[in-house]
Structure 1
Amino acid sequence: MVSINKNILRTILIASYILLIALIVSGISALFSYLNTGADRSTMLHTEIQKVEQYLPKLVWAPLLNEGRLMDQENLNALQNDYLDAWYVKQIAYKTNKTAGIKDYYTDSARKNLYDFIELNAANNITIEATTLKHHPTLEFFSEDGQLAVVTDRNVIEYKRVFKAEKMVLETTEISTYKIVLLLEDGFWRIRHLVKESTKPYIFETSKIITDSLNIKGINYYPKANPWNMFGDAFSIDTISKDFKIIKNAGLNSVRIFVQYEDFGKANVSPKKLKKLKQTLDLADKHHLKVVLTLFDFYGDYSIINWTLNHRHAEKIVTTFKNHNALIAWDVKNEPNLDFESRGKETVIAWLDNMIDLVKSVDTIHPVTIGWSNAKSASILKDKVDIVSFHYYEDLQKLDEAIQTLKTEIPNKPLVLQEFGLSSYSGLWNPFGTSNKDQANYHKKAQEVIAANNLQFMSWTLYDFNNIPKEVVGRLPWRKRAQEHFGFITQKGETKPAFKYISKP
């Protein structure tokens, strides 16, 4: 028995020894692997955002006619990525007054100037929010040993806001030229010198867009089975085609549909989503309907550092569909004034102003609008938009007065009542709500006001809905139940009394 116990103990000791040796070897192997693996640049940046999702200004290289060594595409891509990352970390540093990431993209001498500037701003309670929107670099020189590059970056469009004690003291957009010297160190391009050679105020110029022929008589559209997820897995050409036929036969000539920023892939727009959107526009054209395409639905981050990502999203969609026959107008954002309190009114308006310029720079033909949630906000950026659009869910008796006020404030732009309607819900969560008859009377009166003012319009909405995402109206059941019953047609496909007044009083 003693012998057996000794053998068991001996076996346990030998097994423990082997396990210990294995752990030591594994640890040494992992350490060796780490020391021979290049550092992850996203870790250096102290951010979990991948490169493709952090900073994407429009960048167009001049033809490569540089002195010195021939620059191949692989080296040019590496230089470009590190150069843009250098701008990104500098913008973050100026916003936070922290130096994280600077040493990874600037050499010793270059980073000293940045450190001094950041220290001075921090001492004076100054912060800078900025981004670059366009770059036009020219490679002037690439050394024979591949370790040094000289770049001239012309017509760099920069937007910046300067804050003193959290109060904005300066807002400016500039167009500048920079001379940059970059060194290849440890496999990464770092900026040795970055000197601004010239700068002047940037003013975006656009040609006047003709809106005289517009005659929008339409409706906001989602399929009844998948509202707010129109381009998801339940996307159906047959359903949309049938609905568009109903809309056309009802005497309407246009629909408003929505593109959600994240759903469509953010900066890297999904080809599958673009295909579904094209199919929808094709169906609208087939049924002789025009489309108001609303961008950035369900998007609420107006941070300046993310503008370049927003630009790439909008640029792709506008470029893809600007020549489509069904398109009648771009709606930059749905009800952005609802974000004034949470995101800051100045920030939201600056984003809208800049996004209008982006859309107009890509499409010089179609008018641009903003879908304000009320008439009170509709005069904001009135000189930038081509159509003034507003929503109205207030007292219908005051609609005529609101229209007259807008006509006085904005006498030279078309007005579109872009959303209006009344829920026909009355039940457990609102026993004193409105009925189908009330809804019909509402639309009859609304159409009378519209006709009297020769107003263009888009009502809300074709169908009652059974499944409304909580992101739309929240979780409160009385709000969800009301939102489910704004349609002219029930979920069962039966027309409600209000359908009689869908296009005229």
Structure 2
Amino acid sequence: MTQINKNILRSVLVLSYIVITALILFGLSSIYTYLNTGADRSTMLHTEIKKIDQYLPKLEWAVLNNEGRPMDGQTLNAIENDYLDAWYVKQVAYKTNTTEGIDDYYTENARKNIIHFVEANINNNISVEGTTLRHHLKLEFFSEDGQLAVLTDANVLEYKRVYENKKLLLETTETSTYNIVLLLEDGFWRIRHMTKEESRDYKYPPKPEKNLVSDIKGINYYPQATPWDMFGDKFDAQIISKDFKLIKNSGLNSIRIFVPYDDFGKANVKPEKLQKLKQVLDIAEKNQLKVMVTLFDFYGDYSVLNWTLNQRHAQIIVSFLKDHKALLAWDIKNEPNLDFESRGENLVTAWLDKMIKLVKTVDANHPITIGWSNIQSAPTLKDQVDFVSFHYYESLEELDTAIKTLKNEIINKPLVLQEFGMSSYKGIWKPFGSSEEDQANYHKKAQEIISNNNLQFMSWTLYDFIKIPKEVVGRLPWRKRAQEHFGFINQNGETKPAFNYISQP
């Protein structure tokens, strides 16, 4: 018994020693960290901006042929990063009418103009929401001591929205040329002088319409087991290949797929996601199917400060796929008009307009559209798109008249009924819903209207889904159950009566 007590006492002493030692080490490390905070710029300056991508406009450097000291790649990269960050904090200052972070990227002399501009805006209840989308930098001079750099930034593409009392007063797109002097202070490049040489309104060059779509007979596609998560961990090329063969054999010639913005990595598009996306197009090509790629799924911000990130995302994906033989067209955004009320119609359409122009500069050969959620919104930006797409989930009794009305407004561009369908759910959560027979009659009549109007189409959707993510329709069971049963094939893999009308006879 005595021996047991000794062992217990010894264990308690050893444990106490370990705890006391850990506490002493933690205290010493905290003191060390505190004493060294002055050496960490991120604690004394507002450099949280550098931890994540915030501002990524397209930037091109002229060939280095500067006077003074030769420029190495590492220094050039540092200048570029600090210069773009300076633009970003200025845009934030003009939007919020605060000057936080300005000291980090502008010298005392240079920040005076920004401070005066912000003060004037505050006095007049004005704010400016802006961004730059393109820069062309030329290094004019780099001092022998490596402390001063002179740049010319030509044809900077700037977009601005000016608000007075929170109401949009002015919207402008312009190009400007700037002369910049930067000084190296505390190991970082700060703007010493920034003067604007010239500025003019910018008009995007017209792009000829090419390769317009024709004879689309398609379907919106997700694998049955992974709706709205097609490129996730359960990605299965064999399942997709089997489905595409079925789609082709059913008499269809195209599919529409969706690229989720966040899931693909936002501005830093994940290579593994791109490879999965390419696999899908490779499989489509083998099955003689064309693919309409819808960008920016599950994205709904549209903030001007994020436009450079959005455009970087689109540029990477469009550049990667633009030469693929299976590519049919680019759909810029699915149902963006649903964001009109929450984000503002003017802001959403401005975002769409700039994104269309960006995609056309990257890929001039494939047509572009927007997937409007209803036929009423279809004429929006009709002059910017190559063909007009709309969705229709209302009564078919009004569809024929609505199509004819739209054709009178949009004369020389193809129309695509990009989504339509009916749920066959009739159960406890919706006792007066539609049956599978009702669904079949719906698609039979829809195909008659489509044929009579010589309309192109993409129905919704191949499968009844087993599980719908709450992000799609929310948590309400009657909405989820209905959304699960829009397919031509049921949850057991059996074709429903509507499958007979998946395509025109």
Which residue number corresponds to residue 438 of structure 1?
A: 438
Which residue number corresponds to residue 42 of structure 2?
A: 40
**Aligned-residue offset at 1:155:** 1.2
**Aligned-residue offset at 1:29:** 2.5
Which residue number corresponds to residue 5 of structure 2?
A: none
The structure-2 alpha-carbon separation of the partners of 1:453 and 1:45, relative to structure 1 and needing over 3 Å to count, comes to farther
Which range moved further: 199-208 or 451-460? 199-208
Q: Does 1:198 align with 2:198?
A: yes
Equivalent AA in structure 2 for residue 402 of structure 1 = A
Is the 1:45–1:89 Cα contact (8 Å) retained in structure 2? no
**Aligned-residue offset at 1:21:** 8.7
Which residue number corresponds to residue 179 of structure 2?
A: 179
The structure-2 alpha-carbon separation of the partners of 1:51 and 1:249, relative to structure 1 and needing over 3 Å to count, comes to same
Partner of 1:117, secondary structure, is helix
1:279-314 deviation digits (Å, cap 9, x = unpaired): 000000000000000000110010000000001100
**Aligned-residue offset at 1:31:** 3.0
1:198-245 deviation digits (Å, cap 9, x = unpaired): 111111113222355521100000000000000001111110000000
Which residue number corresponds to residue 125 of structure 2?
A: 125
CA distance in 1, matches of 2:309, 2:213: 34
Which residue number corresponds to residue 149 of structure 1?
A: 149
The structure-2 alpha-carbon separation of the partners of 1:104 and 1:480, relative to structure 1 and needing over 3 Å to count, comes to same
The structure-2 alpha-carbon separation of the partners of 1:239 and 1:32, relative to structure 1 and needing over 3 Å to count, comes to same
**Aligned-residue offset at 1:20:** 10
Which residue number corresponds to residue 292 of structure 1?
A: 292
Is the 1:132–1:159 Cα contact (8 Å) retained in structure 2? yes
Which residue number corresponds to residue 74 of structure 2?
A: 74
1:183-206 deviation digits (Å, cap 9, x = unpaired): 011111000110010111111113
CA distance in 1, matches of 2:211, 2:140: 46
Which residue number corresponds to residue 486 of structure 1?
A: 486
Equivalent AA in structure 1 for residue 478 of structure 2 = W
Q: Does 1:247 align with 2:247?
A: yes
CA distance in 1, matches of 2:193, 2:87: 13
Which residue number corresponds to residue 3 of structure 1?
A: none
Is the 1:82–1:189 Cα contact (8 Å) retained in structure 2? yes
Partner of 2:309, secondary structure, is helix
Which residue number corresponds to residue 463 of structure 1?
A: 463
Partner of 1:60, secondary structure, is strand
CA distance in 2, matches of 1:247, 1:118: 58
Is the 1:206–1:360 Cα contact (8 Å) retained in structure 2? no
Partner of 1:355, secondary structure, is helix
Is the 2:151–2:180 Cα contact (8 Å) retained in structure 1? yes
Please report the TM-score for the alignment, with normalisation by the length of structure 1.
Answer: 0.94
Is the 2:219–2:459 Cα contact (8 Å) retained in structure 1? yes
The structure-2 alpha-carbon separation of the partners of 1:153 and 1:438, relative to structure 1 and needing over 3 Å to count, comes to same
**Aligned-residue offset at 1:333:** 0.1
1:364-391 deviation digits (Å, cap 9, x = unpaired): 0100000000000010000000010000
Is the 1:206–1:361 Cα contact (8 Å) retained in structure 2? no
The structure-2 alpha-carbon separation of the partners of 1:61 and 1:477, relative to structure 1 and needing over 3 Å to count, comes to same
Which residue number corresponds to residue 8 of structure 1?
A: none
Which residue number corresponds to residue 7 of structure 1?
A: none
1:328-370 deviation digits (Å, cap 9, x = unpaired): 1000000000011111111111100000001001000100000
**Aligned-residue offset at 1:174:** 0.5
Residue of 29, 33, 43 corresponding to 1:30: 33
CA distance in 1, matches of 2:176, 2:358: 19
The structure-2 alpha-carbon separation of the partners of 1:213 and 1:473, relative to structure 1 and needing over 3 Å to count, comes to closer
**Aligned-residue offset at 1:26:** 4.9
Equivalent AA in structure 2 for residue 84 of structure 1 = L
Equivalent AA in structure 1 for residue 35 of structure 2 = F
Is the 1:54–1:309 Cα contact (8 Å) retained in structure 2? yes
CA distance in 2, matches of 1:65, 1:305: 33
Kindly report which structure 2 residues correspond to 1:177-326, keeping only aligned pairs within 5 A, or say none. 177-212=177-212, 214-326=214-326
The structure-2 alpha-carbon separation of the partners of 1:212 and 1:91, relative to structure 1 and needing over 3 Å to count, comes to closer
CA distance in 2, matches of 1:433, 1:254: 30
The structure-2 alpha-carbon separation of the partners of 1:27 and 1:447, relative to structure 1 and needing over 3 Å to count, comes to closer
Identity of aligned residues (%): 67
The structure-2 alpha-carbon separation of the partners of 1:500 and 1:303, relative to structure 1 and needing over 3 Å to count, comes to same
The structure-2 alpha-carbon separation of the partners of 1:39 and 1:211, relative to structure 1 and needing over 3 Å to count, comes to same
**Aligned-residue offset at 1:441:** 0.3
Is the 1:46–1:100 Cα contact (8 Å) retained in structure 2? no
Partner of 2:36, secondary structure, is helix
Is the 2:211–2:365 Cα contact (8 Å) retained in structure 1? no
Equivalent AA in structure 2 for residue 201 of structure 1 = D
Is the 2:421–2:461 Cα contact (8 Å) retained in structure 1? yes
**Aligned-residue offset at 1:397:** 0.5
**Aligned-residue offset at 1:482:** 0.2
Q: Does 1:88 align with 2:88?
A: yes
Equivalent AA in structure 1 for residue 32 of structure 2 = S
Question: Paired residues, what number?
Answer: 489
Equivalent AA in structure 1 for residue 504 of structure 2 = K
Which residue number corresponds to residue 4 of structure 2?
A: none
Equivalent AA in structure 2 for residue 151 of structure 1 = L
Q: Unaligned 5+ residue runs, structure 1? A: 1-10
CA distance in 1, matches of 2:83, 2:240: 46
**Aligned-residue offset at 1:458:** 0.1
CA distance in 1, matches of 2:270, 2:379: 34
Which residue number corresponds to residue 6 of structure 1?
A: none
CA distance in 2, matches of 1:432, 1:61: 64
CA distance in 2, matches of 1:27, 1:487: 60
Partner of 1:91, secondary structure, is helix
Is the 1:66–1:139 Cα contact (8 Å) retained in structure 2? yes
RMSD of aligned residue pairs (Cα, Å): 1.9
Kindly report which structure 2 residues correspond to 1:161-176, keeping only aligned pairs within 5 A, or say none. 161-176=161-176
CA distance in 2, matches of 1:25, 1:366: 63
1:85-106 deviation digits (Å, cap 9, x = unpaired): 0000000000000000001100
**Aligned-residue offset at 1:33:** 2.5
CA distance in 2, matches of 1:21, 1:325: 66
The structure-2 alpha-carbon separation of the partners of 1:58 and 1:22, relative to structure 1 and needing over 3 Å to count, comes to closer
Is the 2:213–2:328 Cα contact (8 Å) retained in structure 1? no
CA distance in 2, matches of 1:209, 1:306: 29
CA distance in 1, matches of 2:417, 2:375: 9
CA distance in 1, matches of 2:42, 2:351: 32
CA distance in 2, matches of 1:210, 1:294: 19
Is the 2:332–2:370 Cα contact (8 Å) retained in structure 1? yes
Equivalent AA in structure 2 for residue 45 of structure 1 = H
CA distance in 2, matches of 1:232, 1:213: 30
Partner of 1:199, secondary structure, is strand
